[in-house]
Amino acid sequence: MELAHILESQQFAADLDGLDDFYRLAIDMEHIFESGGDPSILKGAHAVNLFSQPSTRTHASFRWAQYYLGVNIAFDSENAKDFSSESKGEVPRHTVRVHSQYCHDPRKIVIVLRHGNFKAMQEFAQYSPGAHIINAGCGKSDGQHVTQTLGDVLTIRRERPGLKRPVIAMVGDLRNGRTVRSLSYLAPRVFPETKIIFASPITLAMMPDIKEYLSRHGFVYEETFEPKDFPEVLRQADVVYMTRIQREDLAGSDLDRFEEYQLAFQLNAGNLDGIKETGLIMHPLPSNKELAPEVDDDPRAVYLTSQLHNNLLVRMAGLHTLLKPHC
């Protein structure tokens, strides 16, 4: 698959053969991971990691991916909002040109970007003089987190290879979460005849643009806002994709109800038994109270194991796809 940037799920949804190639590459990355890395693979390539919002997994796994493939980390900011010129109001079209200017060949640079504003990410790509942009989680209720989704879909495929017509339940803060937006774009393309069930408090419902996209393409989805329906959602689901209530994005009465919202669709010992034996429990993390501690040890829960692993592999594959042609 030839790509200049990795920005949104639609790039992969539009090219399923390319996605298969990408996943083959991701699986190949497992050998490199298992051997402890091969720094010759992307020798001469450089990474600029710009994180303007908090991140643990995405940032760490990109750094590991860069280590395994021998990418030089030229610049790394885990608080770019406060400790880079972004704090002084620098515009994305300048930031991308500045970072590109230091390299004799900007095509050897990848800028791994986490940003609160999706349009800022688009500007990085638009004004880039050759550096490749990877969306490491950008935007909010208009946003996407495409590398998370690539890893999530790979996890479902690897964990449940024979899964036909999966029912995927997305649960929690669907309005503010960018992971579920990216997943909604890609999952129904990859898994034919899937049904998506959105389960959330009514004020945190999935945004209309995603629902319009699903309807326009004839993909099936349902919505529920009633905690009393949650056991039935769990009973139907092949994949239970939990997300946290994003307190930082709540205001007014939603903020007052933060605690209540977390518990309304909580997975716990009381309802865990209702999930199919072959079901898969996923979460992009970090989690709060929507996951009771006992869920961690459930054999169907993969958010601390293969989901993390596959996310690392797709990040390695993403770096390889963008940078290898120039190394």
- Min CB(63)–ligand NCD separation in Å: 14
Q: Are 169 and 241 in contact (CB under 8 A)?
A: yes
Cβ atoms within 10 Å of 305's Cβ, excluding its own: 11
- Min CB(182)–ligand NCD separation in Å: 9
- Taking the least distance from each CB to ligand NCD, the nearer of 186 and 285 is 285
Distance CA 127, CA 51 (A): 19
Determine, following the binding rule CB under 6 A, whether residue 284 of this chain makes contact with ligand NCD: yes
- Taking the least distance from each CB to ligand NCD, the nearer of 128 and 311 is 311
Q: Are 177 and 201 in contact (CB under 8 A)?
A: no
Determine, following the binding rule CB under 6 A, whether residue 49 of this chain makes contact with ligand NCD: no
Residue position matching structure tokens 């590991």: 64
Q: Are 310 and 151 in contact (CB under 8 A)?
A: yes
Token readout for 19 is 């996605």
- The site map against ligand NCD for 235-274 (x = CB under 6 A) is ---------x-x----------------------------
- Min CB(165)–ligand NCD separation in Å: 27
- The site map against ligand NCD for 68-107 (x = CB under 6 A) is ----------------------------------------
What residue is closest to ligand NCD based on CB?
284
Determine, following the binding rule CB under 6 A, whether residue 170 of this chain makes contact with ligand NCD: no
User: Considering only 3-11, 73-81, 266-274, 284-292, which stretch makes contact with ligand NCD by CB under 6 A?
Assistant: 284-292
- Taking the least distance from each CB to ligand NCD, the nearer of 57 and 189 is 57
- H-type helices in the chain, by residue range? 10-13, 16-34, 57-69, 80-83, 92-101, 118-127, 146-159, 179-190, 208-216, 230-236, 252-256, 258-264, 269-272, 306-323
HSE (side-chain half, CA atoms, 13 Å) at 323: 30
User: Considering only 50-58, 216-224, 273-281, 319-327, which stretch makes contact with ligand NCD by CB under 6 A?
Assistant: 50-58
- Min CB(116)–ligand NCD separation in Å: 10
Q: Are 254 and 214 in contact (CB under 8 A)?
A: no
Q: Are 183 and 198 in contact (CB under 8 A)?
A: no
Q: Are 106 and 142 in contact (CB under 8 A)?
A: no
Could you say which of 133, 154, 285, 312 contacts ligand NCD (CB under 6 A)? 285
Could you say which of 9, 58, 144, 262 contacts ligand NCD (CB under 6 A)? 58
Residue 145's nearest CA partner among 173, 174, 178, 113 is 178
- Min CB(283)–ligand NCD separation in Å: 9
- The site map against ligand NCD for 130-169 (x = CB under 6 A) is -------x-------x--x---------------------
User: Considering only 52-60, 76-84, 93-101, 155-163, which stretch makes contact with ligand NCD by CB under 6 A?
Assistant: 52-60
Could you say which of 11, 100, 149, 179 contacts ligand NCD (CB under 6 A)? 179
Residue 285's nearest CA partner among 177, 206, 141 is 177
Q: 3-state DSSP: the chain helix, strand, coil percent, rounded to 5? A: 50, 15, 35
Residues that bind ligand NCD (CB under 6 A): 55, 57-58, 137, 145, 148, 178-179, 244, 246, 284-286
